[in-house]
C-alpha cells in the first residue's frame, strides 16, 4: 500500500524532532562516531540498508544523534524494522510504543502468533520502503545482545534476503558500549563502507560473512572507546 504524502511528511517531521530532542541523551551518554569519507554526504545515497549490532533499547536514537545534522538530513526518512512483541515490562507500554512506531514510520514485524512468519512476509515492508528509495535499518542480531562470551550475537539471514532481493548496498555498523555507567557511558559507533554480500554464499553464509565484517569494525570501535 502506497503511503500518502501527508503521512510521509509526518514521519520526516517526527524524525527531525527525534534528532533534536535526542541530543538530551548526551547528558547520559558520551557519543562518538567514525564515518568513512563521503558516507551520507549526498542525497544520492538512498536505498541503503543500515545494519548495526544491538546493545540497548535506545540504539535508534543514539545512532541518530551520532550523525551531524547535515549527514542526518541526507538520510531521512530512515525506516527501522522493529518487533511488536516486546519482552518484559515493555509489553505493558505497547499502546504507547505503537504510537511512537506510527509517528516514526517504523516497519513492524508480524506478531509472533501469526501463522506466516516467512522471510518474505516479515520483510515485505522493508522491501516496499527500499523500492521507494528510503534508507532502512535492520538489526541483524534480532535482539539486544547481552552475552559476554562474544561481542556480537548470531546474525539472522533477513538482511541478506533484503540485500539480494533489491541489490541495495549494506552499511555495516558496529556499536561499542562501555561497562562503566557513571558519570556517562561511552557509546562509540564505527561505520564501514557500503558492501555487497558475495554471490557464492547462501543466506546463512552471507549473514555469517557480514558478522565477521562487523566484528572487525567492532574491534576498532572498542579500541577507540577504551582510549
Write out the residue range of the structural domain in which residue 112 sits: 5-225
Q: What is the DSSP string of 56-86?
A: -TTHHHHHHHHS-HHHHHHHPSEEEEE-SS-
The grid coordinates listed for 44 are: 544520492
Q: Is the pTM of this model over 0.75?
A: yes
Taking 50 as the pLDDT cut, the residues of the chain under it are none
142-172 pLDDT, tens digit each: 988 887 778 999 999 999 999 999 999 999 9
16-45 pLDDT, tens digit each: 999 999 999 999 999 999 999 888 876 656
Position 186 scores a pLDDT of: 96
Position 105 scores a pLDDT of: 96
- How many independent structural domains does the chain possess? 1
Q: What SS3 state is found at 192? A: coil
Position 90 scores a pLDDT of: 81
Position 87 scores a pLDDT of: 77
59 in Cβ contact with 139 (< 8 Å): yes
CATH number of the domain to which 69 belongs: 3.40.1130.10
* Order of all β-strands in the sheet with 170-177: 29-34, 185-191, 170-177, 49-52, 135-137, 78-82, 107-108
Position 129 scores a pLDDT of: 93
159 in Cβ contact with 138 (< 8 Å): yes
- CA within 13 Å, CB half, 58: 15
Residue 103 CA to residue 13 CA, distance in Å, equals 9
Position 26 scores a pLDDT of: 96
Amino acid at each position: 500500500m502506497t503511503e500518502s504524502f501527508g503521512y510521509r511528511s509526518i514521519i520526516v517531521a517526527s524524525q527531525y524532532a527525534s534528532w533534536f530532542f535526542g541530543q538530551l541523551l548526551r547528558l547520559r551518554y558520551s557519543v562518538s562516531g567514525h564515518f568513512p569519507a563521503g558516507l551520507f554526504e549526498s542525497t544520492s545515497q538512498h536505498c541503503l540498508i543500515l545494519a548495526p549490532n544491538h546493545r540497548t533499547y535506545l540504539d535508534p536514537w543514539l545512532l541518530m544523534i551520532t550523525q551531524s545534522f547535515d549527514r542526518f538530513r541526507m538520510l531521512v526518512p530512515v525506516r527501522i524494522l522493529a518487533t511488536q512483541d516486546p519482552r518484559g515490562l515493555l509489553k505493558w507500554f505497547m499502546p504507547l510504543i505503537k504510537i511512537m512506531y506510527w509517528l516514526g514510520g517504523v516497519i513492524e514485524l508480524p506478531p509472533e502468533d501469526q501463522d506466516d512468519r516467512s522471510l518474505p512476509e516479515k520483510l515485505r515492508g522493508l522491501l516496499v520502503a527500499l523500492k521507494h528509495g528510503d534508507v532502512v535499518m535492520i538489526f541483524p542480531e534480532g535482539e539486544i545482545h547481552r552475552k559476554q562470551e562474544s561481542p556480537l550475537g548470531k546474525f539472522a539471514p533477513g538482511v541478506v534476503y533484503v540485500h539480494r532481493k533489491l541489490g541495495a548496498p549494506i552499511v555495516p555498523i558496529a556499536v561499542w558500549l562501555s561497562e562503566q555507567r557513571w558519570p556517562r557511558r561511552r557509546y562509540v559507533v564505527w561505520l564501514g563502507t557500503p558492501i555487497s554480500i558475495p554471490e557464492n554464499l547462501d543466506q546463512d553464509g552471507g549473514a555469517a560473512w557480514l558478522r565477521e565484517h562487523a566484528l572487525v569494525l567492532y574491534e576498532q570501535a572498542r579500541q577507540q572507546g577504551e582510549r
